Amino acid sequence: MSSDTITAHGEDGQLARFRAAIRSFKTRFYEEQPETMRTLLEEGQHPTALLIGCSDSRVDPALLMGAGPGDLFVVRNVANLVPPYRPGAVLDGVGAAIEYAVRDLGVQHVIVLGHAQCGGIKALLNTVSGERPEREFIADWVSMATEACCHYVPDPARGGGVRAVSLDSLKGHPYLVERAAIQGSLRNLLSYPWLKVAVDDGRLNLHGWWFDLESGDLWATDIENRVFLPSGD
């Protein structure tokens, strides 16, 4: 590493850029436009949406959606997964975020945002096919989405029946599993009783989004549909 990438604090150039960005944020929202942060401090946060996204560094929800301070309540994890409702069973950071967003902040939307080329889904496919990653946490975490690896297509040879899609085929078309995992997370959201009440009452809407890293296109579904459709302009 060249000496000009090291700051006086021993940081590399990337960390120095991050620190400079925070100073720029301070200039913009504390000095030039202080009303935004002042309102958020005095009146508290009132985001309209909870976004459950992937930890992948290429898919930052705030950057993708042009969100400003106070717009989104965000929780991110490997493969943007929602565990089923299991109070008291585990230490569940995702469940805690969902509970706070829905019951305390009163968000109107919950968005599960997945994406193409997801490393967590790749780990899931490898695990299901017997190639468990040599890691301590990832395989167990993504295993909650195992059902997403079950796909069936019409089989004329079976008189109108269906046949299972092989794991090898799914590995070649991982977007099928990425999208199915989003749908599984939407179903798991409905296992939270107070969230389901809010959905049934029309106070809360659930959305499944899949972002194509190659094209930049967004595909969408919801709890009423089994397919993803291109998101309209």
Which amino acid type is present at position 194?
W
Q: Which residues are catalytic?
A: 54, 56, 58, 115, 118
The answer to whether the CB of 115 falls within 8 A of the CB of 219 is: no
Which residues does residue 52 pair with via DSSP β-bridges, in sequence order?
Answer: 75, 112
Residues 6+ apart with CB under 8 A from 84: 144, 188, 191
d(CA 192, CA 67): 27
Strands in 129-226 per DSSP E? 152-155, 161-164, 205-211, 218-222
d(CA 50, CA 182): 15
Strands in 43-100 per DSSP E? 49-54, 72-77
Burial of 165 (0-12, 13-18, 19+ CB in 10 A): middle
